[in-house]
Amino acid sequence: MSSGSATGLIARRAQAPQRSMFLRMLLRAAVLRRGRAAAALLAMVVAAAATTAMLNLYVDVQTKLHTEFRNYGANVVVVAKDGQPLPSDALQKIESALDGRGMAVPFAYVVARTLDGQPVVVSGTDLEQARKLNSWWSVTAWPSGVQDALLGMRAAALVAPQGQGFDLSFNGRTIHLNPAGTLRTGSAEDSRIYLSRTEFESWTGVQPSTVEIVASGTPEEVNATLQKLALALPDAEVRPIRQIMEGEARVFGKTQSTLLVSALLIILTAALCVLSTLMGWVFDRRRDFAIMKALGASERLIGGFFVTEAAVLGAVGALFGFGIGVAIAAWIGRVNFHAPVVPRFAVLPEVLFGSIAVALIAAILPMFLLRRVQPATILRGE
Amino acid sequence: MFARLVYESFRRQKRRKLLAGAAITLGVGVATAMIAVATDIGDKISRELRTFGANLVVTPQEDSLDLQVAGVDLKPPSDGAYLNEGDLPKIHGMFWHNNIVGFAPVLPVAVNVGGKGVTLLGTYFSKQLNFGKEEFQTGVRLIYPWWKVNGTWPDDNSQDVLLGERLAASLAHKAGDEIELAGQAHRVAGVLSTGGAEDDQVVAPLAVAQSVLGKPGAVRRLYVSAVTKPEDAFARRDPKTLRGPEFDRWYCSPYVQSIAYQLQEAIPHSHAEQIRQIAQNEGTVLARIKGLMLLIMLAALMAAALAVSAAMATAMFERRTEVGLMRALGAGSVSVAAIFFAEALLLAVLGGSAGFAGGAMLARVIGRSIFDSQIAVNVVLFPIVIAIAVLVTFSGSALAIRRAVKVDPVYALRGEA
């Protein structure tokens, strides 16, 4: 520091109110010990970033995983009671109960006969939606034209072994169909023939008896949807598909617990890292502490100084860390789920208060230890 | 002299060494536990995914079409072919039999209960089977964990049956009642709730359904639940086109396709097919969870590395005067650095070993409490973890040592560095 600026400093100091001394000490401490201050701030930022990323992920991954589980298809099914068709407005009622939070696909079934009298199950449905509902269906080609049918692989072997057109009869009415493609699922669908709903209804006149529903959201939301559906359709049976719901609940629960444990471990490590770094920093400055004390500063002033310093450091670190943490969470979301993780600003106060609290603990603990020590002892370097 | 300096430094500065060592132990412990969890999570979740039920179905080769509408089987009982119950224990002799969680044969028979046509489903509940000298249990209780019984599960060798809950409600029967099936009285052991077609059916031990049908040993279908490896392009290849070592590799990977192939080998005149709803979705869910845990493991490793290097840097900063003293006494910067690096190495190895042991224990606790099974830590990890710990400790101290060595000893000793 040159002497010119020192005289200027004295002049300015004489005029400045006492409050600015406090600010000056804070700023000077940060500027003069850049290295240590930067190291402490870095630790703070890293810890806050790790915490933010984990909190963001923990909340967001849950909804993302539920979305993944929806690939298993329907988790709710609405069935007409005792073989009667569903009321004609059932689908609208279901759609309004779902309120855009899912998808409903109606299925109608009849047992038709081939020309040589073999029985085969024929289903009429909205093929476009069935395709979205059952992403695991392995289909060679989806029907597009009139009289096109989708044949389950076992049904295909029976009715159209060479891929030729075939006739089916139901209640005395015959329809000629062309196989558009074959369907392979490994379940009952393999023995069925699928038609578009309009074609199916003009041939058989049979209305849908089953509606398969994908209700999205958390288990609580799905249960709420179930209740709404049951209220909206008193004449039908609304059943959860327990196979899917319980499997999901179990796998999800295990993943969530693992995630929680990992998050806690990471946050704990980060917090301890900050604690040790900051404590080292404060402890290292026991000479400042001793000089202030020797010059007659009260314990309250010194305490206030270190506490303010720690709080500022914690707050600044938390703000930077929050930004970085949100970015990390978004990156993980994009890499793993191909969908961004929406930043949750609700965790900002938690991260902020947590950081400041850890910083304060780190500042107060060494002060407490140093309080009883005579300044002279510290200044002598002992 | 060198060894003595290092030794005395550990002896006299116990508090500092303990703090730095604790940071390393904690960091390595968290890293080890996270690596173990992330590498094992695929296995664990694969097992958990089995709660979705069977992923393979075995049918007779020359079967006629199923006529199932809304869970009611309309297929005439005389129709179609059957599998032989006597072949089932052979599944236990398959190459991948350890991956088979369980299997359950089914035999649907049309019966009349209380003047109503319903399906009687014969199956294994938890049947004791023998393969050679080995005994094992299998049945729906293993492969369909969501089946719930109000009452008791019937014994597989008894004449007791379960009533589906909707059927029980419409017949006004409860557990302990008797019903008549094909002229014989059967006790209702319990009321079954599955959320599926079985809620409208009578579910009985396989032998009961066989005697009602009059075909001893007959099985219509066999459901198999197997832990599989997610399908890839190689899995989808036709085994007939594979030659020599390629075929061996395909056969010896637990793909759902190769397990289906082996099931066909084990059970004569059968056709095994994956249940795509279960088998295909498994891979996606598994990949997401594995990917997530991998990324979180990386985050944990980074946090641990930063914690360790920050602790080391702090510990080094505190010792500027010591460095100054050594320099003033004529030590070269190389020998000063060597002493500190030796200390760091010792700390890393000691703390790292303790951390590794702690991390392995932590992984075990996590495995026990979340998955009810062990998460074992591979011993191969030990040298890798220690090497990383040493590297991180070195890099954490390096900057601080470099700066301490550069500072003029006079300033360092005056405390002005």
Instruction: State the SS3 of A134-146.
Output: CCCCEECCCCCCC
| pLDDT on residue B224 | 93
pLDDT band of B355, cuts 50, 70, 90: very high
| pLDDT on residue B415 | 62
Chain A residues in contact with B146 by the CB 8 A cut-off are 242-243, 246-247
Cα distance between residue B206 and residue B108, in whole Å: 9
Q: Name beta bridge partners: B69.
A: B72
| pLDDT on residue A303 | 81
Cα distance between residue B219 and residue B228, in whole Å: 25
B210-231 burial, b for 16+ CB within 10 Å, e for fewer? bbbbebeebbbbbbbbbbbbbb
State residue A36 phi and psi, 5-degree precision: -65, -40
The C-alpha angle with vertex A236 and arms to B173 and A128, in degrees rounded to 5, equals: 130
Q: Where are the domains of chain A?
A: 19-67+251-379, 75-240
Do B221 and B140 meet the contact criterion of CB atoms below 8 Å apart?
no
Return the structure tokens found at A353. 């208060």
ipTM above 0.95, yes or no: no
Q: Can you give the C-alpha Rg of chain B in angstroms?
A: 33
Is the pLDDT confidence value at B336 over 60?
Answer: yes
Cα distance between residue B135 and residue A133, in whole Å: 42
Do A61 and A259 meet the contact criterion of CB atoms below 8 Å apart?
yes
Is the pLDDT confidence value at A256 over 80?
Answer: yes
| pLDDT on residue A358 | 87
Question: Which B residues, 286 through 345, put their C-beta within 8 Å of a C-beta on chain A?
Answer: 288-289, 291-293, 295-297, 299-300, 302-304, 306-307, 310-311, 313-315, 317-318, 321
Q: What mean pLDDT is predicted for residues B162-176?
A: 88
Report the share of chain A in percent with pLDDT over 70. 93
Tally of CB atoms within 10 A around B257: 21
Q: Where are the domains of chain B?
A: 2-47+284-414, 55-274
Chain B residues in contact with A134 by the CB 8 A cut-off are 277
Q: What mean pLDDT is predicted for residues B114-134?
A: 87
Amino acid at B145: P
Question: A251 and B51 in contact by Cβ < 8 A?
Answer: yes
Nearest CA in chain B to A249: B51
| pLDDT on residue A346 | 82
pLDDT tens-digit readout, B281-324: 888 888 888 888 888 888 888 888 887 887 787 777 777 778 88
DSSP string covering B288-312: HHHHHHHHHHHHHHHHHHHHHHHHH
Do A258 and B366 meet the contact criterion of CB atoms below 8 Å apart?
yes
Q: Which positions ≥6 away from B209 have C-beta within 8 Å?
A: B107, B108, B109, B120, B121, B122, B123
Is the pLDDT confidence value at B126 over 70?
Answer: yes
Nearest CA in chain A to B365: A261
Question: Which B residues, 170 through 189, put their C-beta within 8 Å of a C-beta on chain A?
Answer: none
| pLDDT on residue B67 | 72
| pLDDT on residue B295 | 86
pLDDT band of A1, cuts 50, 70, 90: very low
Is the pLDDT confidence value at A242 over 80?
Answer: yes
Is the pLDDT confidence value at A14 over 70?
Answer: no
pLDDT band of A83, cuts 50, 70, 90: low
| pLDDT on residue A102 | 86
Q: What mean pLDDT is predicted for residues A44-65?
A: 85
Return the structure tokens found at B405. 């060595």
Is the pLDDT confidence value at B406 over 90?
Answer: no
Most confident listed range (A54-63, A302-311, B108-117, B250-259): B250-259
| pLDDT on residue A2 | 46
State residue B173 phi and psi, 5-degree precision: -110, 155
| pLDDT on residue B206 | 92
Which residue from B37, B70, B302 is facing A210, i.e. has the nearest CB?
B70
pLDDT band of A194, cuts 50, 70, 90: very high
pLDDT tens-digit readout, A171-193: 888 888 888 889 988 888 888 99
Is the pLDDT confidence value at A297 over 90?
Answer: no
pLDDT tens-digit readout, A92-136: 888 888 888 888 999 988 888 888 888 889 999 988 889 988 888
Cα distance between residue A66 and residue A248, in whole Å: 8
Which residue from B19, B30, B194 is facing A269, i.e. has the nearest CB?
B30
Do A304 and B337 meet the contact criterion of CB atoms below 8 Å apart?
no
In three-state secondary structure terms, A224 is helix
**How many Cα atoms sit within 13 Å of A335 on the Cβ side?**
15
Classify burial at B291, counting beta carbons within 10 Å of its beta carbon; exposed 0-12, middle 13-18, buried 19 or more. Answer: middle
pLDDT tens-digit readout, B45-79: 888 888 888 999 998 887 777 777 766 666 665 66
Is the pLDDT confidence value at A17 over 60?
Answer: no
Report the share of chain A in percent with pLDDT over 90. 4
Q: Which positions ≥6 away from A145 have C-beta within 8 Å?
A: A178, A180
For residues A369 and B31, which has the higher predicted lDDT (pLDDT)?
B31
Is the pLDDT confidence value at B202 over 50?
Answer: yes
Q: What mean pLDDT is predicted for residues A246-265?
A: 88
| pLDDT on residue A25 | 73
State the sign of the Cα–Cα–Cα–Cα dihedral A132, A133, A139, A143. negative
Question: A336 and B277 in contact by Cβ < 8 A?
Answer: no
SS3 letters across B243-293: CHHHHHHHHCCCEHHHHHHHHHHHCCCEEEEECHHHHHHHHHHHHHHHHHH
Question: B310 and A257 in contact by Cβ < 8 A?
Answer: no
Strand A119-125 and strand A192-196: the pairing is parallel
pLDDT band of B230, cuts 50, 70, 90: confident
pLDDT band of B357, cuts 50, 70, 90: very high
Q: What mean pLDDT is predicted for residues B324-339?
A: 84
Cα distance between residue B250 and residue B200, in whole Å: 41
Is the pLDDT confidence value at A4 over 60?
Answer: no
Is the pLDDT confidence value at B191 over 90?
Answer: yes
**How many Cα atoms sit within 13 Å of B125 on the Cβ side?**
22
User: How far B164 CA lies from chain A's nearest CA (Å)?
Assistant: 14
For residues A151 and B4, which has the higher predicted lDDT (pLDDT)?
A151
pLDDT band of B223, cuts 50, 70, 90: very high
The C-alpha angle with vertex A314 and arms to A350 and A20, in degrees rounded to 5, equals: 130
User: How far A255 CA lies from chain B's nearest CA (Å)?
Assistant: 7
User: How far A15 CA lies from chain B's nearest CA (Å)?
Assistant: 30
Cα distance between residue B253 and residue B236, in whole Å: 12
Averaged confidence pLDDT in chain A: 83
Query: What is the largest distance, in Å, between two alpha-carbon atoms of chain A?
Result: 113
Is the pLDDT confidence value at A215 over 60?
Answer: yes
Is the pLDDT confidence value at A266 over 90?
Answer: no
Return the structure tokens found at A252. 């999800």
